């Protein structure tokens, strides 16, 4: 493959006919004949590694200004150039897939999993790109980011095409949109779930956060949006494709969920559209799960699948790992793991559990380090407002001191009558919760969800909350035997 075949704008460059090995933005992965693309990151600028890449044998250096190096190609935007090069390197597989993008603050993972399930219920082999893992049909592949780097993204599309996938469903994060990881992609459908405070450490303002989310709705064939969200109108403002809306309990929308009847293990409701109605017995608890199911169902309907079969398949939907996940205990109390790591996410899961909890609702949570600090006291207040007891602990402190993060959380818990305990070590905090559980209690472990690790400083250590709960249950039983 020549440089101009890899990147059409290079046709007029003296380097146009240079034969290329592969594309990379990592100087440590450069082999002789490769293209090295200099990417400016938050803490590292790839331009500073251009000479190292050249020394390693890079045939072409792609940069955004003159570096004074031989065989350099200067472009206006290296991120966009990199995305287009990666697509070409893998043969543009995305052009032959029907790609569905799901964006929003909360619900992306669950909605993507549900869309995949609904499509496969209709005989359509579907790939998945998301936070928990990537999937090519039923084959599971590890995921590093919610939305991968452009090279990995197009390599996944190539695998999906090769395996016979017709659709690819992917979570599209605001970071990925802003950083042009999905530049050049065209979506058969884009779904907007909601927008609440998150990632302000990166975007700085909600206006910037909204602007990032909005971008992908300019490159899709149909937009599916949550009519109940306050940002709905702004998301679709100027959108040239058809807009299909969903909501819960309102009539000024294309599809709505009505007559919700919550159960401990799910929700019954009617999905209502223009002259159509169908009953759904959802196997996932909570109103937030109804929104996710409605987003998925509306998306698949917008793609042209029959109402009756879509509604029937919705009753078979289940939640992914770490989303309102019930941990087996064989005890008279319940432990639930959920990824809730934003104020809105925590409030949603607590409202759901509050409605069905017969004993105490005990919430264990922390907040991530090196992330938006303003949401910490908000989450502290939400925890004490909806819980009978709270255990404040660590999440992924990263390079921040865990104790300082906890202080920020506690600032939102002043003047509360809800008892709370601080146990900085997360494993010990979970053990404390299990050892002190009472009959009919519900213990919510919020924040980690599907993650089986904890980031301490620059180290990633193993931490699977399911294993910690199992060990704590064993200790509880041993203590009970000793007390007999």
Domain 325-482 in CATH: superfamily?
Mur ligase, C-terminal domain (3.90.190.20)
DSSP 395-422: S--BTS-HHHHHHHHHTTSTT--S-EEE
Q: Is 433 in contact with 404 (CB distance < 8 Å)?
A: no
Could you please state the CATH topology (level 3) that the domain comprising 3-89 is classified under.
Answer: 3.40.1390
Tally of CA atoms within 13 A in the half-sphere of 348 that contains its CB: 24
Q: Which helix (H) or strand (E) holds 294?
A: helix 287-302
Rg for the chain, CA atoms, rounded: 24
**8 Å CB contact between 379 and 365:** yes
Distance CA 158, CA 171 (A): 17
How far, in Å, CA of 387 to CA of 295, rounded? 29
Q: What is the pLDDT of residue 202?
A: 60
- β-pairing, 98-103 with 453-456? unpaired
Q: Which residues contact 387 (CB under 8 A, 6 or more apart)?
A: 350, 361, 362, 363, 418, 444
Q: In the chain, what's the furthest Cα-to-Cα distance?
A: 85
- pTM of full prediction above 0.85: no
So what's the pLDDT on residue 146? 67
Residue spans in the chain of domains classed CATH 3.40.1190.10: 93-314
The rounded Cα 318 to chain-centroid distance in angstroms is 17
Cα–Cα distance measured from residue 335 to residue 320, given in angstroms and rounded to the nearest whole number: 16
User: Residue 467 CB: number of other CB atoms within 10 A?
Assistant: 13
Blockwise average pLDDT, block size 10, the chain, 484 residues: 95 94 95 96 90 96 95 96 97 97 90 96 96 84 79 96 97 87 95 77 72 86 95 90 96 96 87 96 88 97 98 92 86 92 91 87 96 94 97 96 97 95 98 96 94 94 97 95 81
Ranges in the chain annotated CATH 3.40.1390.10: 3-89
Whole-number Å distance between alpha carbons of 365 and 345: 12
CA distances (Å), 86 to each of 94, 124, 313, in order? 11, 26, 36
* Nearest in space to 320 (alpha carbons), one of 106, 126, 114: 114
> What is the spatial distance between Cα 214 and Cα 130, in angstroms, rounded to a whole number?
19
Q: Where are the alpha helices (DSSP H) in 163-276?
A: 174-178, 200-203, 206-214, 232-236
Helices within 122-257 (DSSP H only):
150-162, 174-178, 200-203, 206-214, 232-236
Q: Which CATH number is associated with domain 93-314?
A: 3.40.1190.10
**Alpha-carbon span 89 to 84, nearest angstrom:** 9
Q: Where do you find CATH 3.90.190.20 in the chain?
A: 325-482
């Amino acid at each position: 493959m020549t440089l101009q075949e890899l990147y059409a704008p290079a046709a007029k460059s003296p380097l146009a006919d240079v034969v290329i090995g592969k594309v990379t933005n990592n100087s440590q992965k450069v082999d002789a004949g490769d293209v090295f693309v200099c990417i400016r990151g938050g803490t590292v600028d790839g331009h500073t590694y251009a000479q190292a890449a050249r020394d390693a044998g890079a045939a072409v250096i792609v940069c955004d200004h003159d570096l004074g190096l031989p065989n350099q190609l200067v472009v206006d935007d290296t991120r966009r150039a990199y995305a287009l090069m990666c697509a070409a390197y893998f043969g543009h597989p995305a052009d032959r897939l029907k790609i569905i993008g799901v964006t929003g603050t909360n619900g992306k993972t669950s909605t993507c999993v549900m869309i995949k399930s609904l499509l496969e219920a209709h005989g359509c082999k579907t790939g998945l790109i998301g936070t928990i893992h990537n999937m090519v049909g039923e084959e599971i592949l590890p995921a590093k980011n919610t939305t991968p780097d452009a090279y990995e993204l197009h390599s996944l599309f190539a695998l999906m095409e090769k395996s016979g996938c017709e659709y690819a469903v992917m979570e599209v994060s605001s970071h990925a949109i802003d950083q042009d990881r999905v530049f050049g992609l065209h979506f058969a459908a884009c779904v907007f779930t909601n927008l609440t405070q998150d990632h302000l450490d990166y975007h700085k303002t909600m206006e910037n956060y909204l602007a990032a989310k909005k971008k992908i709705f300019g490159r899709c064939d149909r937009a599916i949006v949550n009519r109940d969200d306050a940002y709905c109108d702004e998301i679709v403002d100027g959108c040239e494709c058809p807009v299909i809306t969903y909501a819960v309990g309102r009539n000024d929308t294309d599809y709505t969920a009505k007559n919700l009847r919550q159960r401990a293990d799910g929700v019954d409701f009617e999905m209502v559209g223009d002259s159509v109605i169908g009953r759904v017995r959802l196997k996932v608890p909570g109103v937030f799960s109804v929104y996710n199911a409605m987003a998925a169902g509306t998306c698949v309907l917008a793609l042209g699948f029959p109402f009756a079969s879509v509604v029937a398949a919705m009753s078979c939907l289940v939640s992914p790992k770490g989303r309102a996940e019930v941990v087996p205990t064989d005890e008279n109390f319940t432990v639930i793991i959920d990824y809730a790591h934003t104020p809105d996410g925590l409030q949603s899961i607590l409202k759901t559990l509050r409605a069905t909890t017969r004993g105490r609702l005990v919430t264990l949570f922390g907040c991530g380090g090196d992330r938006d600090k303003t949401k910490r006291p908000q989450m502290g207040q939400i925890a004490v407002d909806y819980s009978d007891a709270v255990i404040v602990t660590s999440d992924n402190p990263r390079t921040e001191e865990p104790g300082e993060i906890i202080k920020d959380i506690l600032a939102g818990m002043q003047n509360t009558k809800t008892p709370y305990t601080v146990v900085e070590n997360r494993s010990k905090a979970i053990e404390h919760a299990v050892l002190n559980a009472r009959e009919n209690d519900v213990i919510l472990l919020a924040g980690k969800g599907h993650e089986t690790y904890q980031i301490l400083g620059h180290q990633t250590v193993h931490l699977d909350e399911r294993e910690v709960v199992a060990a704590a249950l064993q200790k509880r039983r041993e203590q009970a035997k000793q007390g007999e």
